[in-house]
Amino acid sequence: MTVQTTLQLGTETSTVLCAEDGHVVLQQELPLGTASLARQWMRHTPPTPLDIEHAIEQTEDVVMPLAAKLVRTELLQLSGSGAALILQGVGAAPDAVLHWSLEDVEDLFNRIAMVSQGRPSGQEALPTAREFYAALVILRECLHHLRFGGVVVQAP
C-alpha cells in the first residue's frame, strides 16, 4: 500500500489530499492560503515576530484537527502557488524539485525569524515578501503538527 499526502498551497485557500494506491481517501479544503494569511496577520514588510506569531496561531488552529484524519506518511508533497513562492524565494529554478527534511525547513524558518527581528535581509539572501513568510509558516506548521519528517517542494 502506497500512501501519499499532498498540500496544494494556494493564495486564498489550500487543499490536503491523501491518496492510497492512487485513490483519494481524504480531500480537505483549508481556509488558509499564502495571501489570505499574509493579509490577515502579516502587516509589516518584513513581518515582525508578533506578525509571525499570530500567523502561526491561525495556522495551528486550521491544521491541528487534520492530524487525527491523516494516514501517517514520512514526506509531505507540497505543490501549488505556495510551492512556487518558496522555490522562487530560495533561488531555485521554477521546475526544481526540492527534498527537505524537517530540519532543513526549520533552518529556513529560523533565517526568516532572524530577518523579522531586524537582521538585514541581504545577509540571508531571502525575500521579505509577506506571502513568502506565510508560505513558510504554513509549511512548517503542517510538518510539525501533522508529523511529517520532510517535504518535497514542487511547483505545478
Report residue 13's pLDDT band, with 50, 70 and 90 as the boundaries.
Answer: very high
| Amino acid symbol at 97 | V
Kindly state the cell numbers that stand for 127. 525575500
Kindly state the cell numbers that stand for 81. 502557488
Residues 79 and 17: their CA atoms lie apart, in Å, by 11
The pLDDT value given to residue 84: 96
Report residue 15's pLDDT band, with 50, 70 and 90 as the boundaries.
Answer: very high
For 143, the 3-state DSSP assignment is helix
Going from the C-alpha of 136 to that of each of 1, 40, 76, 90, the distances in angstroms are 30, 16, 14, 11
The pLDDT value given to residue 79: 97
- Per DSSP, the residues of 44-92 read SSSPPHHHHHHHHHHHHHHHGGGGGTSPP-SEEEEESHHHHHHHHHTT-
Secondary structure tally for the chain: helices H, strands E: 6, 6
* Domains identified in the chain, total number: 1
What is the extent of the structural domain holding 57?
A: 3-154
Task: Convert the pLDDT of each residue in 52-96 to its tens digit.
Answer: 999 999 999 999 999 998 877 899 999 999 999 999 999 999 999
The terminus-to-terminus CA distance of the chain in angstroms comes to: 25
Sequence-ordered list of residues with C-beta below 8 angstroms from that of 61, at least 6 positions apart, any chain: none
CATH number of the CATH domain containing 81? 3.30.420.150
- Bridge partners of 4, per DSSP, are 19
pTM over 0.85: yes
